[in-house]
Structure 1
Amino acid sequence: MASYTYPTLHPSGSITAEQARLLLGSNRLIARRLAEISQMRFISDFLLTQSLDASAGGVFYETGEEIFAPAASELVAPGASYPKVILPEGVLEAARAVKRGIGTDVTDEKIAERGGGVATRALLKLANTVIRDVDTVSMAVIASVVSSTFASPGGAWASAGAVVQALTAIRQQRADLGLGFDLDTVVLSGDDYAALLAMFIDDGALPREAGNIAISGNIPVDLYGFTWTTSPHYTGTNPLLVDRDNLGGMADQNLQSPDWARYGDSGVEGQTERITGADKWTVRARRVTVPVVLEPLAGVQITSTGL
């Protein structure tokens, strides 16, 4: 599966009124357009990278599972049997997938008067709404489950060097626990991201070449061994430092509704319906999913940063 990059720009380009009518007449095309718009834009999928199956309507999962056997390995003589142990299990939890959706009407008059862009703008707004609502729930779940806190070593983040030093120290202390976690992704609110970007610019701590995020505006960015990202849907008061590979996953359910369609690996589904006698199309978007944090210790909230 291709690596996930968050976010990318939504597809550009205009379509004619005739193309819009063809688009609105096909569930498959609606689903493809929604997938193109929403692809790589969920911070939920960026942070919760594991694919979980909620085909039965929910998912059972274990948290806090030990990564080591309860006994040490032993020397094994030629022809001898290997020692056996009973591996400890984590705490069993359950989460139920929920359906979030929204729809709107696109009338024949709007298409005739304003062109085919009416249809694509409607789909963009629907996709943006689903993204916002799913991400808001996911970020709230992450912030509530990742409850461990760590006071910033050295106090407030007053310089780029202090920031990197604090993050590196926290990362190493969590690694020293021997749990197999590597906290390498920094999640910031919009205001905190802007403050840190300004600090790095003032300190001359950004690369001079085209990779300078102050010039490119790219989010996220890999800098000093960390991935830095932000989302308008993260409203926590403390920066998060997480291990995206182990934190958790999104459990999507495919309802296989005959009048809905999905395209590729996108969890967003689309539906279109011609309202006979009303001269309009009704288009809908939805995602059936639940965010799951598998390893609460795969993240930490950093306090005392002064941001």
Structure 2
Amino acid sequence: MPGPSYPPAAPTISGELVTISRFLQSPTLIGRRLRDLTDLRFISDQILTQRFRSSGGAVMYEVSEPFLNTRPVKAVAPGSEYPRDTPAQGVAALAAVTKWGEAFFISDERIKRSVYAGDEVDRQLTKAVNTVANKIEGLSTAAVSSAITATQAATATWDNASASIFRDVEVAAAKITDLNMGYNPDLLLMSTSKYALLMSDPIIANLRRREATDNPIYGGDIDRVGKFKVVYTSAANLPSNDVWVIDSKQLGGMADEVNQDPGYATGAYNIQVQTMRRPERDGWDLWARRLTVPIVTEPGAGIRITGTGS
């Protein structure tokens, strides 16, 4: 009986099934490296930096509390009473903490038979943590977008030859400072494409030190412009595809319910995880959660530079 023709047909894949000639070795499987929270470039915890502890499932706060009373100080004659004033207060607000999370089941068979073997649990748990963090990111950026209403138009789109990027930033920051609320803008938030324009801007390049090791032509990065820390991410992660100037220390923060429940371990972004053996199903239940609410206490601590381009 004649032998099989050589070479045998190449492997084929249809849906979840791989068909391989018995005369061929199995093809090498190249698995995708799972991205962690750093790779996903979430920015909510960089712009809402304050940390609050909730009680009773909610947090109460004041929005834009004044630091001056409304009545001006007057000269007081000898023997006269001091003029009285009512201390100024901010607008009271209440935010309820929500538990955000999801669970999934992994069978023993999947763990034993998976090409990732013992790493299968870690890979699936990483996906759950990323999913929870992605949800919190969306809530945080939505809160920032709705709270910050101040805008400053750019001189020109940042890809235009007449653009004045550094001036746009400084003029926007000046608007925040001139509110006389004690704000000190210290952070620039933008998309990766806007960052590329900022890093290659000739005016900014001429203002930097020449032949220094922190020059982006050597290090490939600009982490600060003037007094501003530069944070860039995907446009999808931003409140809107504008450039944001922010006082990151005063804008707001995350109110987490941090009391530890039995069995949970807390990791990055205050995300809690737990696993439980399900012997009746020969597998494991795993879940991740975060009990939090994003709050913006000082809407005046941010401004949006519009007209910078797409």
Structure 2 counterparts to residues 141-160 of structure 1, below 5 A: 141-152=143-154, 154-157=155-158, 158=160
Q: Percent identity?
A: 30
User: Displacement of 1:209 after TM fit?
Assistant: 4.8
**Gap runs ≥5 in structure 1:** 1-36
Q: CA deviation at 1:48?
A: 0.8
Q: Does 1:303 find its partner at 2:303? A: no
Query: What's the counterpart of residue 106 of structure 2?
Result: 106
> C-alpha deviations, 1:263-305, integer Å up to 9, x for none?
5x85211110111132221211110111100111100111122
Q: Is 1:246 paired with 2:250?
A: yes
Q: Distance in 2 between matches of 1:238 and 1:110?
A: 45
How far 1:250 sits from its partner (Å)?
0.4
Question: What letter matches 2:97 in structure 1?
Answer: A
**Cα 1:56–1:206 shift into 2, 3 Å:** farther
Name 1:11's counterpart in structure 2: none
Tell me the secondary structure at the aligned position of residue 130 of structure 1: helix
C-alpha contact (below 8 Å) 1:60/1:93 kept by paired residues: yes
Greater percentage in helix: 1
Deviation at 1:112, TM superposition (A): 2.9
Does structure 2 conserve the Cα–Cα contact (< 8 Å) formed by 1:186 and 1:228? yes
Q: How much does 1:85 deviate?
A: 4.1
Q: Which has the larger radius of gyration?
A: 2
Query: Secondary structure in 2 aligned to 1:246?
Result: coil
Do the aligned partners of residues 39 and 205 (structure 1) sit closer, same or farther apart at CA in structure 2, a change above 3 Å counting?
Answer: same
Cα deviation per residue 1:216-250 (whole Å; 9 max; x = unaligned)?
566x8222221111233215032111101110010
- Which of 274, 279, 293 matches 2:296? 293
Map Cα deviations across residues 78-104 of structure 1 (whole Å, 9 max, x no partner).
Answer: xx9987643200111111111111222
What does 1:1-307 correspond to in 2, within 5 Å?
42-71=42-71, 85-113=85-113, 114-152=116-154, 154-157=155-158, 158=160, 162-199=164-201, 209-212=212-215, 221-232=223-234, 233-254=237-258, 256-262=260-266, 266-307=269-310
Secondary structure at the aligned position of 1:273 is classed as strand
Stretch moving more, 231-240 or 128-137: 231-240
Q: Would the aligned equivalents of 1:98 and 1:288 in 2 still touch at CA under 8 Å?
A: yes
User: Hey, what's the Cα distance between the residues in 2 that align with 1:258 and 1:141?
Assistant: 31
Q: Structure 1 residue 159: deviation in Å? A: 6.2
Instruction: Supply the distance in 2 between the matched residues of 1:295 and 1:175 (Cα, whole angstroms).
Output: 13
- Cα distance change on mapping 1:84 and 1:49 into 2, 3 Å: farther
Q: Does the residue aligned with 1:290 lie in a helix, a strand or coil?
A: strand
Give the aligned CA root-mean-square deviation in angstroms. 3.4
Separation in 1 of the partners of 2:98 and 2:174? 37
Distance 1:166 1:61 in 2: 32
The answer on whether the counterparts of 1:66 and 1:88 sit within 8 Å (CA) in structure 2 is yes
Letter in 1 for 2:304: Q
Return the offset for 1:54: 1.7
Q: Which moved more, 1:62-71 or 1:139-148?
A: 62-71
- Structure-1-length-normalised TM-score: 0.74
Residues 122 and 82 (structure 1), Cα distance of their counterparts in 2 relative to 1, 3 Å cut: farther
In the TM superposition, what is the alpha-carbon distance from 1:188 to its structure 2 partner? 1.2
What SS class does the counterpart of residue 229 from structure 2 fall into?
Answer: strand
Bigger mean CA deviation after superposition, 254-263 or 270-279: 254-263
- Determine the C-alpha separation between the residues in 2 that align with 1:181 and 1:175: 6
Q: How many residues align?
A: 268
